[in-house]
Amino acid sequence: MKKVALLMAVVFAVCTASFATSVASIKGTYNFQISGVRNEYGYYSGSNFVQVTTCPSNQHCSNQAFGSVSYGTLSFDGAGHVKFLSIAKVNNGSGGPTAGTVWSYSVSGYNGAMSGSSGSAYLTLGSFNSAGVAQVVTIRTGGNDANTGVATLQ
């Protein structure tokens, strides 16, 4: 009885260890879309919002929330570099990378991160093919106005 229990414990420990260590990776070209809300401080002049850091004494300023969307393609090389092949920003999307920008990335288990001089994002990998490459990656940007999105392998 003790041998069976010990054998089962060893098998459980080996199986748990092999499933806990991921062979997951990100490699290839992915389509992505990220959306969120940005907060700006300013006032309206007619129908145009004027963003300011200090409110002029003759205006009434407030914080305004604006929706934004960014989409495009990016390519992970499987060795820690991600290149933004194309990117479009809708509804006054601002900041972040531009086409041609290269960031670094890393993956640990089913999570990862990527960053460059223009920002950073957290990654969660899912829906893997037989080679362990993520078919779908959720993205959450860092910063005060965090955005979320998804990337799918082409």
* Type of residue at 129: N
Domain residue limits at 130? 20-38+66-153
- 6 in a structural domain: no
Question: In the chain, at which residue ranges do the beta strands (DSSP E only) sit?
Answer: 28-45, 48-51, 62-76, 81-90, 102-108, 111-116, 119-128, 134-141, 147-153
pTM: 0.70
Neighbours of 43 (CB within 10 A): 17
- 55 in a structural domain: no
pLDDT tens-digit profile, the chain (154 residues): 444 433 333 333 333 333 334 457 999 999 999 988 878 899 999 998 999 999 999 999 999 988 888 899 999 999 999 999 999 887 665 667 889 999 999 999 999 999 998 889 999 999 999 989 999 999 998 776 778 999 999 9
- 13 in a structural domain: no
* CATH code of 98's domain: 2.40.128
- 29 in a structural domain: yes
